[in-house]
Structure 1
Amino acid sequence: MEDKKYKAVCFGEVLWDIFPGEQRRIGGAPFNVAYHLFKMGLDVEMISSVGDDDLGRELLNKIKNWQISTDHIQITEEYPTSTVIASVDENNDAHYEIVENVAWDFIETTQENQKVLSTADALIFGTLAARNEKSKNTLFQLLEISSYNVFDINLREPYYDIRIINELLHKTQLAKFNKAELRMVLDFLKKEYKDEKDSIRFLQDKFNIREIIVSKGSKGALYAHEDHFYLYPTIPVEVKDTVGSGDSFLAGFLSKRLQKESSAHEIMAQAVSLGAFITSQEGACPEYTLEEFLGFKGRNELEALSF
């Protein structure tokens, strides 16, 4: 990392994922991104909310033990800490039953979270935190302060509204989709497209978004920056589970992207490597050191694919 320490702010859900027959694990896509950004050496703040209950206190203590800031995680007496019933199918894909009317549905706008955005290099958010009017309004206020808005589409049925996605895309500088989400959004917009490049250019033009990432599963990941397209393969690993792999990919991407002098190759190599590294371990936020990750990355050299 260079001398300047970059600051990222993640907005939205922080929660307990409860898997059958296992201990609960801290989750929520924005928090997963925050965890891995912190591991990559960035200064990270999480804007969220937990209940004034045992689960909330346990969650905050665990985050503090990781030495990640909880300064902007609000505590409410009105709503419980979020829990999600998670399951993993035979393909190691995760599925979630997400409880409504929980603490992060009611994130307040404060002078403190507005101030932290004024000095941040990026704001990372998804669609789920906009399912409730309260948190949605807070998010839209913070988007006006942030200079680099990163929208991880992360669609979770039935908690999304194409009108809100449309509004959020208009306020986005970098958007991340998986293949299914890209097709869904294009279908929502009634866009017929010839190929992937055509669909990405349509979104870039319609929403004035310079940068788009598309994660393509076994076919790798694509980064579009204006008129330039970069496709990178996946790193073959023994998959432990896929929970949080997309979040770690995004964190790896941003950890290099925020360094202005990083090349597209450096950015994508970091993203693909961190995604694979986390997929080879159990859980979205496994314990590891930066040195362990860099060792893995060094053993898996990547070259771009033609696209």
Structure 2
Amino acid sequence: MEMKKHKIVCFGEVLWDIFPESQMRIGGAPFNVAYHLFKMGLDVSVISSVGNDGPGHELLQKIKNWEIPTEDIQVSEEHPTSTVIATVDKNNEAHYDIVENVAWDFIEVTPENQKSVETADALVFGTLATRNEKSKNALFQMLEISPYNVFDINLRAPYYDIRTINDLLHKTQLAKFNKAELRLVLNFLKKEYKTEQDSIRYLQEKFGIPEIIISKGSKGALYTDGDNFYLYPTIPVEVRDTVGSGDSFLAGFLSKRIGKGDSAHEIMAQAVSLGAFITSQEGACPEYTQEDFKKFKDAHPLSALNVSKW
């Protein structure tokens, strides 16, 4: 008897990133996470919206060519497909000019996407899709029916406010921050930063969040599941592109975390390995197979002995 695949729903922006030299790539953090979850063998659904225009049709066709389901991606007659002007600095870090009043700002609640969330194992979301009241209200309705809410903080100035972040954190079972986002949120909450451990404890107690991830760039990643803290090192690679590396990290994490009974070491090893693998490729959603990733992971083993636990 074939085992049922686990399913994860990703809510929010799907768009075209336009890079220098007019290179266009599908982007949006929720979609990037969904892409890598699909590559890891999970069922995925993307709740978003594109315009009934050329870029929207092309975007949907490319997603279909990847064989990723598009049933929950709405087509708007009133708002255009999102395009984002992306620039890359000398440190290979991407910066984005995100145009407003695009299709994913107006995601609607439908019986179909409600069913997708109700039957899923987890719902992944960020802050960007809450910049418009329409999509924000849709997201909060989804959070009420999801069994496991994964908040990828992913702050994009100026499209966030502390009241919304506060409300989202109260509905979160797993939160992922980078170092800068952690300090920024603590500053919003008027909490002095002392140590990462103290900061995590504060967030857990204030919001009742069981699990928190802090991505620390070259210094690795920190994960806590209750009273246990695990600090994992990075895998040294030749950096081709940092776009989407955090999204692939989260996808790797969830591919082992959701319903499989894997240990914290197995979960974090998958997360760190997939993040490093994608950083060594070009683009947030490069073409690859599970076998490609397995070869990379086998060639860059992470020993539990190298993990700091306290």
2:50 and 2:80 in contact (8 A); partners too? yes
Matched, 1:266 2:276: no
Match of 2:87 in 1: 87
CA distance in structure 2 between the partners assigned to 1:127 and 1:95 by the alignment: 16
SS in structure 2 at match of 1:9 = strand
Equivalent residue number for residue 228 of structure 2: 228
Counterpart amino acid of 1:255? Answer: S
> Partner amino acid for 2:46?
M
- Following superposition of structure 1 onto structure 2, how do residues 97-112 of structure 1 map, counting pairs within 5 Å? 97-112=97-112
2:277 maps to which residue?
A: 277
Distance 1:101 1:120 in 2: 29
Amino acid of the residue matched to residue 173 of structure 1?
Q
In structure 1, the partner of 2:176 is 176
State the shift of 1:192 in Å: 1.5
Q: Distance in 2 between matches of 1:118 and 1:227?
A: 29
Please report how far the alpha carbon of residue 4 of structure 1 lies from its aligned counterpart in structure 2 after TM superposition.
3.2
Cα offset for 1:305? 2.8
**2:208 is matched with which residue?**
208
Residue 4 in structure 1 maps to residue 7 in structure 2? no
* Contact residue 183 and residue 193 of structure 2 kept, 8 A: no
Q: Which residue of 2 aligns with 1:306?
A: 308
- For the residues of structure 2 that align with 1:245 and 1:30, how far apart are their CA atoms? 13
Deviation per CA, 1:139-165: give whole Å up to 9, x if none.
000000001000000000000011000
- Please name the residue that 1:152 is paired with: 152
| 1:193 CA displacement | 3.6
2:66 aligned residue? 66
The offset of 1:306, in angstroms, is 2.0
**d(CA) in 1 for partners of 2:55, 2:196:** 43
**Match for residue 127 of structure 1?**
127
In structure 1, distance between residues paired with 2:214 and 2:39: 23
Residue 261 of structure 1 and its aligned partner are, at CA, apart by 1.2
2:217 & 2:236 partners in 1: Cα distance? 11
Q: What fraction of aligned residue pairs are identical, expressed as a percent?
A: 78
Contact 2:253 2:268 in 1 (8 A): yes
Instruction: Compute the displacement of 1:3 (Å).
Output: 3.0
Q: Which amino acid aligns with 1:43?
A: D
Asked if residue 194 in structure 1 is aligned to residue 218 in structure 2, the reply is no
State the alpha-carbon separation in 2 of the partners of residues 281 and 86 from structure 1: 18
- Separation of aligned partners in 2, 1:306 and 1:153: 24
Instruction: Name the amino acid aligned to 1:93.
Output: E
What are the Cα deviations for residues 32-69 of structure 1, in whole angstroms up to 9, with x where unaligned? Answer: 00000000000000000000000000000000000000
Residue 172 (structure 1) shift = 0.3
Any unmatched runs of 5+ in structure 2? none
For residue 239 of structure 2, what is the aligned residue in structure 1? 239
User: In 2, distance between residues paired with 1:180 and 1:193?
Assistant: 11
Q: SS where residue 3 of structure 1 aligns?
A: coil
Write out the 4+ residue segments of structure 1 that deviate beyond 3 Å after TM superposition: none
Q: 1:239 offset after TM fit, Å? A: 0.3
Note the residue ranges of structure 1 that are not aligned, 5 or more in a row: none
1:120 is paired with a residue whose SS is coil
Residue 96 of structure 2 corresponds to residue 96 of structure 1: yes
- How many aligned positions are there? 306
- Give the structure 2 partner of residue 250 of structure 1: 250
One-letter amino acid of the structure 2 residue matched with residue 256 of structure 1? K
Q: What one-letter code is carried by the residue in structure 2 that aligns with 1:70?
A: T
Calculate the TM-score normalised by the size of structure 2.
Answer: 0.97
Taking the aligned partners of 1:194 and 1:69, their CA distance within structure 2 comes to 44
Residue 95 of structure 1 aligns to a residue in which SS? strand
Q: Which amino acid aligns with 1:150?
A: V
